[in-house]
Homo-oligomer: A and B are copies of this chain.
Amino acid sequence: MTGAQSTSRTPTLQEVAKAAGVSLATASNALSGKRGVSAELRERVVEAAKLVGYPRGGSARARRTEHVTVGIVLPDVRNPAYAELAHAFEREGQLRDWSLVLASSDYEPAKELEALERLIETTDGVVLSPSRPPRSGIHRLAASPVPIVTCDEPADSALIGASVRTDSFGGGRAAAHHLVDRGGTRFGMIGGAGYLPSTQERREGFLAGLRDRGVADEVVHVVGDVYGMDGGQSAMYELLELDPAVDAVFAVSDMQAVGALFEAQQAGRSVPGDLLLCGYDGIGWTRKISPTITTIRQDWGAIATRAMDYLAGMLAGGEGGRAVLPVELVEGESTRALRAV
């Protein structure tokens, strides 16, 4: 993006920011009238803009930030994790007075590409939560002038301007430590063959966490290649077949954890009395179900804020970035304590 900007005759917002001695974000916010900028700072930025000859109202692109429309492509808003993400973006949009255009890929790469192509034509910036590892088609689109931020998954192409994801490896590791510390002795992991990079990282982190605590490979079973509640249910069935004495299970998503809970309960296991269970994502259901489910919480609000900040920066002619946000283990009843044997 900056390469294209440098050939422009018009001073960039970057130059305004430099002249005013403020960050790019502050310069952008000041000129577009956003809240959270003091009158004093705003004046300083406006003066700097005059000084460097920055066009009144900003460049054409910057002007568009006055009412920005952002497209978000995600697999399916009916999946609670994506509903959380959509809600967080929509709320973040409200704060900035930006609009959010929703598009679903339904987990189909062709539809995903189609949605991206449409949004690149009709919006100012696009957030993509990929349903599959990034593909060549997406890389092609990434060369478009409309900034793209990937969310949830690493952007393995340098062409994609920005990515925001959370520390999946660290989250998996924290889950392992927690399950060991709560007395787990025989472990199961649900989500073994998940194809998303984030899933793979959660798996690697979990296995690394078990190794940290000296857990032997023989007492660890990894199963399950289907996402969603159904996938969790059948994976728990498989786990209990493989090792009826399994007493600590980590699912790489909360939806799988919910399915696993139902299956365990149907098989006569008490959670957490007979079986500790930890999910991942931090969807609302984990706190509403009985028992409440321990989970590795992603901060949806922080993800949306960072992604929108990247978009704002890129719309103002700046560069994007790569963020890996922290996650947090939130304890529920599902890992409270195994019954003493």
Contact = CB atoms under 8 A, between A and B. Distances in A.
25 contacts: A67-B122, A69-B122, A71-B99, A76-B87, A77-B83, A78-B83, A78-B284, A80-B83, A83-B83, A87-B104, A90-B103, A91-B104, A94-B103, A94-B104, A99-B101, A99-B118, A99-B119, A100-B103, A101-B101, A101-B102, A102-B102, A229-B288, A262-B289, A262-B290, A266-B290
A230 interface: yes
Interface string A101-134: 1111000000100010011001100000000000
B80 A230 contact: no
Nearest to A285: B229
A73 to B, nearest CB: 10
A90 B76 CA distance: 10
Contact of A288 (B103, B259, B266): B259
A152 interface: no
A100 B99 CA distance: 10
A321 to B, nearest CB: 26
Copies held by the complex: 2
Interface in A198-257: 229-230, 233
A13 interface: no
A97 interface: yes
A116 to B, nearest CB: 13
Interface string A56-94: 000000000001010100001110100110110011001
A109 to B, nearest CB: 15
Interface centre among A97, A103, A111, A259 (most CB of B within 10 A): A103
A266 B83 CA distance: 28
Contacts of A266: 290
A122 B77 CA distance: 23
Nearest to A229: B288
Contacts of A103: 90, 94, 99-100
A253 B71 CA distance: 31
Given A80-B80, A84-B78, A230-B288, A118 B90 contact: no
Nearest to A82: B83
Given A76-B87, A90-B104, A100-B101, 20 more contacts: A67-B122, A77-B77, A77-B83, A78-B84, A80-B80, A80-B83, A87-B104, A90-B102, A90-B103, A91-B104, A94-B103, A94-B104, A94-B115, A97-B118, A99-B122, A99-B123, A100-B102, A100-B103, A229-B288, A262-B290
Closest 10 CB pairs of A and B: A102-B102, A78-B83, A229-B288, A262-B290, A99-B101, A83-B83, A77-B83, A100-B102, A78-B87, A77-B87
A67 to B, nearest CB: 6
Interface string A306-325: 00000000000000000000
Given A67-B122, A118-B97, A259-B288, A102 B78 contact: no
Contacts of A115: 94
Contacts of A259: 288
Which of A91, A230, A288 has the most chain B CB atoms closer than 10 A to its own CB?
A288
